Amino acid sequence: MRLLITGSDGFVAGSIIAQANGTWEIHGIGRSENPTRVTGVFYHTLDLLDEEGLTGLFNEIRPDAVIHTAAMANIDVCQVNQEQAERVNVGITKTIARLCAEQKVKMVFCSTDTVFDGIKGDYTESDAPHAVNFYALTKIKAEQIVLSSSPVNVVARLALVMGLPVIGQGNSFLADTIAKLKKGVLIPFPANEIRTPVDVITLGSALIELAGNHFGGIIHLSGSTKINRYEMALEIATTLGYPTELIFRANSNAMPGRAPRANDASMDNSLAKQILKTPMRTLSEGLNLTLNFKK
């Protein structure tokens, strides 16, 4: 079975590749000319905005499933570069969804908990999304494309992803936090943002399952601990033995020059617990797993 992963040099993709290698024939598409290579994985360098090139590569690989992790994910960058964000987050998804539909290939699309406005919290899959920033709007549009393209497709809404990069560098807030704590740097964390963080190892395993099982539709991949980001950072610092005085309380919606953030984007993971073999872990369990994961 061939698995195609977009954004193959990214944080989430690294976890997928490490855990799926040996059970799938993995093909990764990334923009890096020199990705961190893993034995047995086929790497392809391509700008996903090149629709003709993507179509040709897709027809050459002929995957059995696609996990689409690639995105323009910086909320503030998306807010000020809306045309580019639309092309990447919506346009590329539309192309991949079309190719998957034409060849009857299952597509697993990585969305986000920030599609919700943060007013209610504890969101279920049946709750209607409502964007508070442009990044979220592009993800909502992309979700609709994926779901309307095929009933076998999956929209996986990812909670805040916590963990250390498994392959390469990735974009890990935990790695960045640890580096700053080691230097004794004061770090702001927003107390207004309530999330249900999921560790990157659990997430990779769940996405692999979804690529290979019969589930289609929306699913929330989130951890089993509901916590604000300030309290989460305090727990991380305590677990790792760093002084909690280095963590200070902030309000992300009071910071100038930033796009609006949802205050309570916590998600209910009951469906994931019901249909997946991969357990949805607590914050402490997930932190322990990612700190001790062996490839």
CATH number at residue 20: 3.40.50.720
Per-residue pLDDT of the chain (295 residues; tens, 9 = 90+): 999 999 999 999 999 999 999 899 999 999 877 777 889 999 999 999 999 999 999 999 999 999 999 999 999 999 999 999 999 999 999 999 999 999 999 999 999 999 999 999 999 999 999 999 999 999 999 999 999 999 999 999 999 999 999 997 778 999 999 999 999 999 999 999 999 999 999 999 999 999 999 999 999 999 999 999 999 999 999 999 999 999 999 999 998 889 999 999 999 999 999 999 999 999 999 999 999 997 6
Residue 11's domain spans which residues? Answer: 2-163+193-226+262-291
In-domain check, residue 106: yes
In-domain check, residue 128: yes
In-domain check, residue 22: yes
pTM over 0.85: yes
For residue 66, list its beta bridge partners.
Answer: 4, 107
Residue 89: partners with Cβ closer than 8 Å, 6 or more residues away: 71, 72, 78, 135, 138, 139, 141, 142
Instruction: State the distance between the two ends of the chain, measured CA to CA, in whole angstroms.
Output: 21
**In angstroms, rounded to a whole number, what is the distance separating the alpha carbons of residues 141 and 218?**
14
In-domain check, residue 185: no
The two tokens of residue 244 are 């909690």
The total domain count for the chain is: 1
